[in-house]
């Protein structure tokens, strides 16, 4: 049984939604990668009694707690006091720690406000984690055979301290050497329940063993993710467990798997074009520039993407892209837009989107209609789809649907090759 | 004593840090605005026993729990089962609910996968919250004199259901009548510490009273928000408290306040153009279509925005927009792009952005450089800025900086009036 560690994020601003707690998510990921189980993460306000209770509850369930935030100098920073109470220990000023903090201020040409000496209060029995980025030191606080780690809430201070001191200490306490390895297959083309049906055999086999585990995650414009997590005594063993299952999943899902882990549809499509020596020009209507904005988020997109014509007004479609007069939410218009974009932008490949995001229908076409036009070499084609969701979602789905159509065309070997 | 409501977010992906739990933060804000206390928010994985324990623990501390996520159709969606166990009730298939879900699929031209009938399982004694956006219905589940609300984890489904059904139910259960009113002033042009200095008097006065409260929130492309929250025995009293302070803040901040509450820079600029009867054409380089994508997120943008030329390759700037040969990251190039966009797109106003988002410098200009060109009537002008942050942040800041420059020009009365 591996070490269990909970995370307690402290701050009234987190409960009120003024700040989103991203620290817990990051800590959770680090714990998982270190093979430490994290079954619960809690947010609590700047209230001493409630922090004490939350710490006590956590220590009944877990071997360790990382408490994050509430180590600042002001009156509402009460994490130190709460930990001292849980330890049943006194909080004592460490004069040499005051001098460290004072020196940090002086190095920035400022006098230390007296209030900052509060940050040098340490519960008797606790060990200090040296502060390198901010003025708040961290704390390692034994409670019986369990332990509380206190780290600052400022993300970059917290991360540095966790990597340098907390994770190594946790790993050394953890008796076992379990390694957890995770892989995400990104897919587009099946619904969550569709994936469930295609992978029914794999799921049944895994349910019997419980390792690796399999989960689906709908992530909008990021695709529908299939996450595999394997656990073994070392990284190699965990990877070996993954590989077999991954192959079964890839066989079942075929070309709907477009990427792995950090690969996005954008980066995959740009790579395919780059490998083939092709440049891209876009014509966007329904998405209003979103395809172009997403592609140019990828550093290095400029070697592939020439640009885009956002033809939001119909006149721009007719006059700039030379789409023939008539309705503009049709497969024919999408093909004409793709040809126009390729010509105006001097690109090898033209990709075009026209459709209806709502709130109301257009040209007699219902909300959700999408036509994707592609011009590659002599082949000009279109694919059409009916997409669900709100205006914003429909636009997001349009982006990944259009890029996926281009990806499948390129994989099919369509168009000119260098 | 007001009603206490905890939030339980369900999903292994939240614990592993693959998804940041933004739902709890949003729910926490809504609870606070409804005068309902939320002292603890918990994240737990897709594990039935742990969800049951987390629900039982929450019900010992609070009058109500909102549990968010785990209502999907697949094998790892176990929130329904966990709630039934906590209620000590059976989970029963509701055939009429299956038909509702089936009809939702058929409306999209698809057959309902059989697995989705799991979403029609309801614990005996629970009430169904009709699903309007996704296929998952919500649940209101009494447990003694306490209550569990189950809502989907998909943010837009969750929000709609919370606003329509959960918050009204919570408010009607809440004995006390305290009204909390909140107002957000959105600003662009000052840093957080700059705001602190400009508002020092207001902050000092409020610190003495504690009501209304004042908070700053840096929100990237959404601007820097100043949030005022007032509490009184009724809505009118709370509003009265707000109004005086809001006026003092507006006087201190002047035209850097661009909007209130849900108003975005995009909607404000579109409204200003619409009022003046002006259409807009964009030329984007550094932002790659992001300005256009943001503007077209606003329903009704089509009456103002003609379109955009994303001139990512320099040749597109020279050939399509007729920017003179030479460097393209200059104020002169930005002005030529604005004139070109206006001409090509047949718009009244041209707005153009050129700059360097990184990762490396370009044309001898450092990362963070932004030039904004504007063509309105006979006036063609440019403003320049050096923006901080990563590649992505720099692009986001560029969007709001350029739109803000256009806003200030329009407010100054520049350009033709109808």
- A227/B308 touch (CB, cutoff 8 Å), yes or no: no
- A296/B307 touch (CB, cutoff 8 Å), yes or no: no
The helix/strand/coil state of B4 is strand
- The arithmetic mean of pLDDT across residues A127-143, rounded, is 93
Final residue belonging to a domain, choices A212, A244, A260:
A260
Residue to test with chain A: of B109, B111, B216, B316, most A Cβ within 10 A: B316
User: What pLDDT score does A193 carry?
Assistant: 85
Residues of the domain holding B357: 265-411
Q: What rounded mean pLDDT belongs to chain A?
A: 91
Give the pLDDT band (50/70/90) at residue A220: confident
Reading the block at residue A126, the tokens are 């606790």
Gap from A69 CA to chain B (nearest CA, Å): 15
User: What pLDDT score does A182 carry?
Assistant: 82
Residue B279 lies in a domain: yes
Q: Are residues B279 and B162 in the same domain?
A: no
Q: Are residues B43 and B167 in the same domain?
A: yes
Could you give the C-alpha distances from B156 to A192, A388, B178, in angstroms and in order? 18, 13, 28
Q: Are residues B18 and B155 in the same domain?
A: yes
CATH of the domain at A359: 3.90.950.20
Q: Are residues B246 and B290 in the same domain?
A: no
CATH of the domain at A245: 3.30.70.2860
CATH of the domain at B88: 3.40.980.10
Residue B417 lies in a domain: no
Q: Are residues B290 and B332 in the same domain?
A: yes
User: What pLDDT score does B17 carry?
Assistant: 82
Q: Measure the N-to-C terminal CA separation of chain A; round to a whole number of Å.
A: 56
Is the pLDDT assigned to residue B414 strictly greater than 70?
no
Stated as kind and residue range, the H or E segment containing A93 is strand A91-93
Residue A405 lies in a domain: yes
Q: Are residues B251 and B204 in the same domain?
A: yes
Residue B232 lies in a domain: yes
Residue B87 lies in a domain: yes
| Per-residue model confidence as pLDDT tens digits over A168-215 | 899 888 865 677 788 989 999 998 889 999 999 999 998 888 789 887
Residue B418 lies in a domain: no
Nearest Cα residue to A354 out of A414, A402, A418, A322: A402
Name chain B contacts of A282, Cβ cutoff 8 Å: 310
Q: Are B405 and B374 in contact (CB under 8 A)?
A: yes
Of A42, A282, A391, the CB nearest to B299: A391
Spatial strand order in the sheet of B138-143: A127-129, A138-143, A146-151, A64-68, A5-10, A40-44, B40-44, B5-10, B64-68, B146-151, B138-143, B127-129
Name chain A contacts of B308, Cβ cutoff 8 Å: 289, 308-310, 312
Residue A418 lies in a domain: no
Final residue belonging to a domain, choices A149, A173, A197:
A173
Q: Are residues B142 and B274 in the same domain?
A: no
Name chain A contacts of B287, Cβ cutoff 8 Å: 293, 296
Name chain B contacts of A321, Cβ cutoff 8 Å: none
- A25/B24 touch (CB, cutoff 8 Å), yes or no: no
| Per-residue model confidence as pLDDT tens digits over B31-76 | 887 778 899 999 999 999 999 999 999 999 999 999 999 999 988 8
Of A54, A312, A346, the CB nearest to B296: A312
Which residue of A lies nearest to B393 if distances are taken between CA atoms? Answer: A297
Residue B157 lies in a domain: yes
Could you give the C-alpha distances from B181 to A20, B233, B240, in angstroms and in order? 21, 11, 10
Give the pLDDT band (50/70/90) at residue B416: very low
| Per-residue model confidence as pLDDT tens digits over B70-112 | 999 988 899 999 999 999 999 999 999 999 999 999 987 889 9
User: What pLDDT score does A416 carry?
Assistant: 46
Gap from A95 CA to chain B (nearest CA, Å): 31
Q: Above pLDDT 70, what percent of chain A? A: 98
Q: How far apart are CA B34 and CA B29, in angstroms?
A: 9
Of residues A242 and B229, the one with the higher pLDDT is A242
Is the pLDDT assigned to residue A397 strictly greater than 70?
yes
Q: What rounded mean pLDDT belongs to chain B?
A: 92
- B20/A15 touch (CB, cutoff 8 Å), yes or no: no
User: What pLDDT score does B1 carry?
Assistant: 55
Q: Are residues A43 and A160 in the same domain?
A: yes
Which residue of B lies nearest to A15 if distances are taken between CA atoms? Answer: B28
Of B43, B47, B108, the CB nearest to A24: B43
Q: Are residues B222 and B280 in the same domain?
A: no
Residue to test with chain A: of B296, B343, B355, most A Cβ within 10 A: B296
Residue B379 pairs in a beta bridge with B376
Q: Are residues B128 and B228 in the same domain?
A: no
Q: Are A272 and A414 in contact (CB under 8 A)?
A: no
| Per-residue model confidence as pLDDT tens digits over B240-296 | 999 999 999 999 999 999 999 889 999 999 999 999 999 999 999 999 999 999 999
B359: preceding bond cis by omega (within 30 degrees): yes
Q: Are residues B97 and B167 in the same domain?
A: yes
Unique residue bearing structure tokens 């897919």? A187
DSSP A336-398: HHHHHHHHHHT-SEEEEEEE--SSS-BTTBPTTEEEEEEEETTEEEEEEEE--S-HHHHHHHH
Give the pLDDT band (50/70/90) at residue A272: very high
Name chain A contacts of B135, Cβ cutoff 8 Å: none
Of B21, B320, B395, the CB nearest to A344: B320
What residues have CB less than 8 Å from A25, skipping those under 6 apart?
B14, B17, B19, B20, B21
Please state the ipTM of this predicted complex. Answer: 0.77
Structural domain count, chain A = 3
Sign of CA dihedral B227, B228, B233, B234: negative
Final residue belonging to a domain, choices A147, A173, A199:
A173
Gap from A395 CA to chain B (nearest CA, Å): 9
Q: Above pLDDT 70, what percent of chain B? A: 97
Nearest Cα residue to B94 out of B74, B123, B114, B67: B123
Q: Are residues B232 and B286 in the same domain?
A: no
- Residue A38, φ and ψ in degrees, nearest 5: -130, 105
Q: How far apart are CA A342 and CA A354, in angstroms?
A: 16
């Amino acid at each position: 049984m591996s070490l269990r560690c909970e995370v307690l994020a402290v701050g009234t601003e987190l409960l009120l939604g003024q700040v989103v707690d991203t620290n817990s998510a990051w800590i959770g990921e680090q714990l998982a990668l270190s093979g430490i189980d994290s079954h619960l993460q809690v947010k609590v306000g700047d209230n001493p009694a409630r922090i004490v209770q939350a710490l006590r509850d956590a220590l009944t369930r877990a071997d360790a707690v990382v408490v994050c935030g509430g180590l600042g100098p002001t009156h509402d920073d009460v994490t130190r006091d709460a930990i001292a109470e849980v330890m049943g220990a006194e909080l004592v000023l460490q004069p040499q720690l005051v001098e460290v903090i004072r020196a940090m201020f002086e190095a920035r040409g400022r006098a230390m406000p007296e209030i900052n000496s509060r940050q040098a209060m340490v519960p008797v029995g606790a060990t200090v984690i040296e502060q390198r980025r901010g003025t708040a030191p961290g704390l390692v606080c034994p409670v019986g055979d369990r332990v509380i780690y206190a780290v600052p809430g400022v993300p970059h201070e917290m991360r540095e301290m966790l990597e340098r001191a907390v994770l190594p200490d946790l790993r050394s306490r953890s008796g076992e050497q379990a390694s957890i390895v995770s892989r995400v297959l990104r897919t587009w083309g099946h619904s969550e329940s569709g994936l469930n049906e295609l992978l029914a055999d794999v799921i049944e086999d895994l349910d019997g063993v419980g390792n690796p585990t399999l989960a689906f995650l709908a992530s909008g414009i990021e695709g529908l993710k299939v996450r595999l997590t394997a656990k073994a005594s070392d990284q190699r063993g965990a990877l070996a467990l993954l590989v077999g299952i991954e192959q079964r999943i890839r066989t079942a899902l075929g070309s709907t798997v477009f990427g792995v882990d950090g690969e996005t549809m954008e980066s995959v499509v740009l790579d395919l074009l780059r490998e083939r020596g092709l440049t891209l020009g876009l014509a966007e209507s329904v998405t209003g520039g979103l395809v172009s904005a997403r592609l140019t988020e990828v550093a290095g997109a400029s070697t592939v993407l020439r640009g885009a014509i956002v033809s939001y007004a119909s006149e721009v479609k007719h006059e700039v892209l030379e789409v023939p007069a008539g309705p503009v939410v049709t497969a024919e218009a999408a093909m004409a837009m793709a040809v126009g974009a390729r010509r105006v932008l001097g690109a090898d490949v033209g990709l075009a989107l026209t459709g209806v995001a709502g709130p109301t229908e257009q040209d007699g076409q219902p909300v959700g209609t999408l036509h994707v036009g592609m011009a590659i070499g002599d082949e000009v084609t279109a694919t059409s789809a009916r997409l669900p969701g709100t205006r914003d979602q429909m636009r997001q789905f349009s982006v990944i649907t259009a890029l996926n159509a281009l990806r499948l065309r390129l994989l099919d070997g369509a168009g000119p090759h260098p």
